[in-house]
Amino acid sequence: MKVGIIGQGAIGSLFAYYYRHESPTLLVKGLSKAPKKLLTLEGIQVDLDFQTMKVTQANNSDDSTEHFDAIIIAVKGYQMETLITQLIPWVPVNTRLVLIQNGMGGAQLLAKAFPRNRIYTGTTTDAVYGIDEFTYKITSMGKLDIGPLWLMSSCEWYTPKIIDAIKEKMWAEAFFSCHPNYEYHEDIAPALFTKLGINAVINPLTATLQIRNGQLCEHPDQVKTLKIEIFKVYSAINVSYSQKALSKAIDDVIAATSNNWSSMQQDVEHHRPTENETVLGYLLSLAKQYELKTPLMKKLYMQLKELDQ
């Protein structure tokens, strides 16, 4: 099986490790060979020596380019529009697209650009962070929740023609079994909204306060208020969820990653763009649609928007 990976950061590199037996190809902007990377797991270092291919090569017309059975996309939400422009000229209809991303909205952009491709979307609780530019450390091998976008509830905007649903599910379960702890969902929406809720509490607060995840315990009022505002939005849009379960999931992640810096905190510290628009921005757009007041969410969104400039 030929697997392509887009995303040279922590999650993209981690999935290269998971799919290392498939000799994945890293798809990059330029043609120069990507530098070697290391993944450190319980003291063991694994070399990741990628083949590379330019993302703008025309796969349909150039015999020298490679056909990919699946392309795993692990980039930030704000990078999606530019990436899609680069992919459109050469990704054939029989290549599956797998989106692993924080926040919401990226899957809709993919579906609009590739209405006939089979698109999977999901989220992971893997914890991996950069030690330096070319080295990443896995602190927790978490869970991958994954499912077909075309079966996601309230997804009337994307209906590709699936010839054999049973055969496709068998392919998916075999493909995603490369992850050590995956769960295939017929309806991926609840898992995505659970992860969005977790990210919407932990990331903005740690980023604006510039603290580790575990230090959120010192700010219980803000955590509680943000939870209540998220619950209000989810109730309005009829997301299938339990307030008690989601609240516990948020608390559990804070506890399990207490010594970690969140990705958004790291983005702010290193003066990189954040995923503010695909996390709080997405929730605020829903709140506006249903005329809901979410003052803390809006305050944090504006603070991050200022930091992004």
| pLDDT tens-digit readout, 260-291 | 889 899 999 999 999 999 999 999 999 999 99
CA distances from 290 to 13, 174, 235, 284 (A): 39, 41, 11, 10
In the predicted structure, residue 64 carries a pLDDT above the cut 70:
no
User: Pick from 122, 125, 123, 75: which is nearest to 257 by CA?
Assistant: 125
C-alpha to C-alpha distance for 2 and 95, rounded to whole angstroms: 10
The better pLDDT of the pair 206, 28 is held by 206
Q: State how many domains the chain has.
A: 2
The better pLDDT of the pair 58, 169 is held by 169
Minimum mean pLDDT range among 34-43, 111-120, 217-226, 275-284:
34-43
**127 and 199 assigned to the same domain:** no
Give the CA dihedral 148, 170, 126, 42, nearest 10 degrees: -170
Which SS3 state, helix, strand or coil, does residue 103 take?
Answer: coil
- 300, 294 contact by CB (below 8 A): no
Minimum mean pLDDT range among 35-39, 164-168, 300-304:
35-39
**91 and 218 assigned to the same domain:** no
> Of the residues 165, 186, 207, which one is the last residue of a structural domain?
186
| pLDDT confidence tier of residue 58, bands split at 50, 70 and 90 | very low
- The overall average pLDDT reported for the chain is 88
**60 and 93 assigned to the same domain:** yes
pLDDT of residue 190: 93
> Of the residues 133, 168, 186, which one is the last residue of a structural domain?
186
Find the domain containing 267 and state its range: 190-308
Query: What are 115-130's pLDDT values in tens digits?
Result: 999 999 999 988 887 7
- 55, 27 contact by CB (below 8 A): yes
C-alpha to C-alpha distance for 264 and 247, rounded to whole angstroms: 20
pLDDT of residue 26: 85
In the predicted structure, residue 52 carries a pLDDT above the cut 90:
no
**161 and 239 assigned to the same domain:** no
C-alpha to C-alpha distance for 193 and 173, rounded to whole angstroms: 22
> Of the residues 128, 152, 186, which one is the last residue of a structural domain?
186
In the predicted structure, residue 45 carries a pLDDT above the cut 80:
no
C-alpha to C-alpha distance for 18 and 157, rounded to whole angstroms: 32
CA distances from 186 to 146, 165, 173, 207 (A): 9, 11, 11, 34
pLDDT of residue 33: 56
- 274, 307 contact by CB (below 8 A): yes
**157 and 194 assigned to the same domain:** no
CATH number at residue 126: 3.40.50.720
Burial of 167 (C-beta count, 10 Å sphere; 0-12/13-18/19+) = exposed
CATH number at residue 246: 1.10.1040.10
| pLDDT confidence tier of residue 81, bands split at 50, 70 and 90 | very high
